[in-house]
């Protein structure tokens, strides 16, 4: 996701790594519903303006820069075409007419989405978030977090580009209307990428202008969490028609996520054949071969010739989801063989199926785990796997696209379990949980700051009243300084736990170092970090008038704490990796908590001890 305000001013770098200018605008082709970026405008040396083709020359875009695919001397510059519009010059900060709200609004920012190595414009941001983002993204994030703490949100007020129709070339005003004349020209996967970033009302408006075939394909490409919501937002008749248009396995997945009453109403509105196919798939357990298979299978008999099979394929091609193999059956769909399309095309027309079919079959049972099925297809390079019952009756096939979806889903689940972040997925995930996980060091620091502040105030009162031990004054001074510099230790601990989680994710056992090698390798890093932190602590003590000896002692304590924290992180990482190797879950949050608590206790404890030692040395010197 990109915003124009964040792209402006970013460097443009050629294939040689040389910065040749900074972005000052981008152009779009206005004839499309979700316009793709066609040209990049940038300022070169001495602020000379240039424009080049996005498709020809842009290799990659990220948050830091735009990377070109050729060196600067090979670039051939272009000019703005009649159907192109510059977003910064022509739209940003311009007023547009919102005919739905019957009001004039200002374009505060423009939102773009990356899909298939193309950048497309989604729409205009006309709300407060666009203003804050234009000032500073940090200010926008701070405002959002502040409002969420009190249970409110800072909404994104986006007017989708597909509601805009340009009135005139100078774009002094843009009238909003519903224009979808070119929506059918986009690939369904691209439409799905865009729809996932629109509001429910905007998604419904887009679907209203898609024919049933295009709408069904688009819904199939949506992420699972959006599919049922989209169907729910449509009228029951339209929803039923779209489900009937979809492949039975995809339709069954969506129907299974609807309420029982809604699902029954939609199924009753369908044709008998479509409803029966979907009901049959709903009877299988989730995450099994039966749950992901499609009952649409291309079958032939042994007596047919190759010519007859090809003619049969021509007749049924439009009704079948995918034809990778032709399955040979006898009697009541009892599976006896399989023919690949390649063998079919290379065979003589008069050849019989019985002479061509392979009888050494890979099959699965409807109750087999979906991951085992996907692994089997991957192992044997299968484009489809037949699903049969105990008697050998062919029930359906699992296609390669469903197998890929399963492997991706299982990989995400395994990752969530391995890192202990599975509780952050699904409806149970909460904002507070995510804030706690990602801002844990702040929570530990705040708790330590409050505790030490309260303790130091009480202790100072005791020392002032001569009611406390002689060494407490120096201990309070050191501990108070340590709690202010505690983020150095906490971030070091957090980094150690993050490296452990990264190694678990990579899962490469062969390249993992032993504990001794890990400690030795981390020791050099810890030593460098300790020296840097020690110098910071020494400078802090000097500014606070600790004196040279006490400042040096405070610096040593800080550096030593950082070094020991790094060593502890190495031991903790090794333990976490060993636990993960035994197929036990490892909580990333737990790793962070343990590492940070160790760092906090160690640093504050050593500072307390150093204060006591410093006071003893001062008394001995006196």
Please, what are the domains in the chain? 2-176 (2.30.30.240), 197-283 (1.25.60.10), 299-417 (3.10.580.10), 434-621 (1.10.357.20)
For the segment 477-505, the average pLDDT, to the nearest whole number, is: 76
Order the strands of the 174-176 sheet from edge to edge.
103-106, 95-98, 174-176, 164-166
φ and ψ of 618, to 5 deg: -65, -40
Across 342-346, 491-495, 507-511, least confident range: 507-511
More confident residue, 354 or 612: 354
- C-alpha span between 438 and 416 (Å, rounded): 16
Structure tokens at 417: 């379990």
- C-alpha span between 108 and 105 (Å, rounded): 9
Q: What DSSP string describes 490-551?
A: HHHHHHHHHHHHHHHHH--GGGPPPHHHHHHHHHHHHHHHHHHHHHHHHHHHHHTT--HHHH
Supply the pLDDT for residue 434: 46
What would the pLDDT profile of 248-294 be if each residue is shown by its tens digit?
888 888 888 888 888 899 998 888 888 888 888 888 888 899 988 98
Query: What band does 335 get if pLDDT is binned at 50, 70 and 90?
Result: very high
Query: What band does 235 get if pLDDT is binned at 50, 70 and 90?
Result: confident
Half-sphere exposure of 468 (CA within 13 A, CB side): 18
- Residue indicated by tokens 């406390």: 468
Structure tokens at 444: 């530990």
Supply the pLDDT for residue 173: 47
Structure tokens at 130: 């666009």
Supply the pLDDT for residue 455: 65
What would the pLDDT profile of 147-194 be if each residue is shown by its tens digit?
777 777 787 887 777 665 444 444 444 444 434 445 556 678 877 877
What 3-state class would DSSP assign to 350? coil
Longest dimension (CA), the chain: 112
More confident residue, 432 or 135: 135
For the segment 293-308, the average pLDDT, to the nearest whole number, is: 90
Query: What band does 304 get if pLDDT is binned at 50, 70 and 90?
Result: very high
- C-alpha span between 44 and 67 (Å, rounded): 15
More confident residue, 525 or 299: 299
Q: Does residue 399 surpass a pLDDT of 80?
A: yes
Across 21-25, 115-119, 386-390, least confident range: 115-119
For the segment 355-367, the average pLDDT, to the nearest whole number, is: 91
Rg of the chain, C-alpha, whole Å: 33
Query: What band does 97 get if pLDDT is binned at 50, 70 and 90?
Result: low
More confident residue, 417 or 146: 146
Half-sphere exposure of 245 (CA within 13 A, CB side): 17
Supply the pLDDT for residue 24: 92
pTM confidence score: 0.50
Supply the pLDDT for residue 393: 92
- C-alpha span between 80 and 61 (Å, rounded): 21
For the segment 448-467, the average pLDDT, to the nearest whole number, is: 62
For the segment 495-506, the average pLDDT, to the nearest whole number, is: 68
- C-alpha span between 452 and 483 (Å, rounded): 7
Supply the pLDDT for residue 364: 93
Supply the pLDDT for residue 585: 65
Across 27-31, 426-430, 447-451, least confident range: 426-430
What would the pLDDT profile of 191-224 be if each residue is shown by its tens digit?
787 777 667 776 777 777 778 888 888 888 888 8
More confident residue, 531 or 503: 531
Contact 300, 327 (CB under 8 A): yes
Q: How do 84-86 and 164-166 pair as beta strands?
A: unpaired
Query: What band does 83 get if pLDDT is binned at 50, 70 and 90?
Result: confident
Contact 3, 49 (CB under 8 A): no
Share the mean pLDDT of the chain: 79
Q: Does residue 435 surpass a pLDDT of 80?
A: no
Across 63-67, 82-86, 364-368, 512-516, least confident range: 512-516
- C-alpha span between 543 and 535 (Å, rounded): 12
* b (16+ CB within 10 A) / e for 361-391: bebbebebebbebbebbeeeebbbbbbbeee
For the segment 496-520, the average pLDDT, to the nearest whole number, is: 66
Query: What band does 509 get if pLDDT is binned at 50, 70 and 90?
Result: low
Structure tokens at 148: 């969420």
For the segment 4-16, the average pLDDT, to the nearest whole number, is: 90
Q: Which residues contact 619 (CB under 8 A, 6 or more apart)?
A: 470
Half-sphere exposure of 37 (CA within 13 A, CB side): 33
Query: What band does 593 get if pLDDT is binned at 50, 70 and 90?
Result: confident
Q: Does residue 243 surpass a pLDDT of 80?
A: yes
Contact 580, 508 (CB under 8 A): no
For the segment 432-458, the average pLDDT, to the nearest whole number, is: 61
Supply the pLDDT for residue 215: 87
The fraction of the chain above a pLDDT of 70, given in percent, is 78
């Amino acid at each position: 996701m990109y915003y124009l305000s964040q792209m402006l001013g970013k460097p443009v770098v050629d294939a040689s790594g040389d910065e040749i200018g900074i972005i000052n605008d981008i152009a779009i082709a206005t004839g499309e519903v979700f316009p793709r970026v066609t040209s990049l405008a940038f300022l070169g040396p001495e602020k000379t303006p240039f424009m080049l083709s996005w498709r020809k020359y842009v290799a990659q875009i990220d948050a830091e820069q735009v990377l070109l695919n050729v060196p600067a001397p090979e670039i051939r510059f272009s000019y703005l075409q009649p159907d192109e519009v510059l977003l910064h010059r022509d739209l940003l900060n311009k007023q547009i007419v919102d005919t739905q709200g019957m009001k004039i609004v200002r374009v505060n920012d423009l939102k773009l989405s990356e899909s298939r190595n193309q950048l497309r414009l989604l729409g205009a941001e006309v709300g407060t978030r666009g203003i804050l983002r234009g000032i500073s993204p940090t200010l926008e994030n701070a405002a959002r977090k502040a409002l969420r703490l009190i249970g409110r949100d800072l909404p994104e007020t986006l007017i989708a580009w597909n509601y805009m129709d340009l009135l005139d070339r100078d774009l002094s005003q843009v009238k909003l209307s519903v224009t979808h004349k070119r929506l059918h020209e986009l690939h369904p996967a691209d439409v799905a990428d865009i729809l996932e970033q629109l509001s429910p009302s905007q998604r419904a408006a887009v679907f209203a202008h898609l024919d049933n075939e295009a709408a069904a394909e688009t819904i199939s490409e949506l992420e699972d969490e959006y599919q049922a919501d989209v169907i729910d937002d449509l009228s029951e008749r339209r929803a039923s028609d779209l489900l009937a248009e979809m492949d039975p396995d995809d339709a069954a997945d969506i129907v299974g996520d609807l309420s029982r009453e809604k699902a029954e109403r939609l199924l009753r509105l369908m044709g008998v054949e479509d409803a029966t196919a979907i009901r049959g798939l709903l009877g299988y357990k989730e995450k099994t071969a039966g749950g992901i298979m499609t009952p649409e299978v291309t079958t032939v008999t042994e007596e047919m010739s190759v010519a007859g099979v090809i003619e049969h394929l021509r007749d049924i091609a439009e009704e079948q989801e995918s034809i990778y193999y032709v399955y040979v059956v006898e009697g009541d769909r009892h599976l006896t063989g399989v023919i690949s399309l390649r063998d079919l095309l290379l065979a003589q027309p008069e050849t019989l199926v019985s002479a061509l079919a392979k009888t050494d079959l890979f099959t699965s049972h409807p109750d087999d785990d979906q991951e085992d099925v996907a692994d089997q297809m991957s192992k044997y390079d299968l484009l489809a796997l037949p699903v049969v019952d105990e008697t050998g009756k062919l029930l359906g096939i699992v296609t390669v696209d469903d197998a890929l979806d399963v492997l991706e889903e299982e990989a995400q689940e395994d990752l969530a379990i391995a890192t202990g972040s599975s509780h952050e997925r699904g409806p149970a995930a909460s904002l507070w949980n995510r804030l706690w996980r990602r801002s844990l060091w702040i929570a530990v620091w705040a708790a330590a700051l409050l505790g030490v502040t309260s303790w130091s105030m009480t202790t100072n009162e005791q020392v002032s009243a001569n009611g406390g031990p002689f060494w407490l004054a120096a201990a309070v001074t050191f501990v108070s300084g340590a709690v202010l510099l505690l983020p150095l230790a906490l971030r070091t601990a957090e980094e150690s736990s993050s490296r452990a989680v990264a190694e678990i994710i990579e899962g490469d056992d062969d390249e993992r170092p032993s504990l001794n090698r890990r400690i030795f390798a981390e020791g050099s890093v810890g030593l460098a970090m300790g020296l840097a932190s020690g110098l910071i602590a020494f400078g802090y003590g000097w500014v606070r008038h600790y004196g040279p000896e006490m400042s040096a002692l405070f610096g040593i304590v800080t550096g030593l704490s950082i070094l020991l924290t790094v060593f502890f992180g190495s031991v903790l990482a090794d333990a976490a990796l060993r636990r993960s190797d035994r197929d036990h879950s490892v909580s990333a949050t737990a790793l962070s908590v343990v590492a940070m608590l160790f760092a906090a206790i160690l640093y504050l404890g050593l500072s307390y001890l150093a204060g006591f030692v410093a006071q003893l040395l001062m008394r001995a010197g006196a």
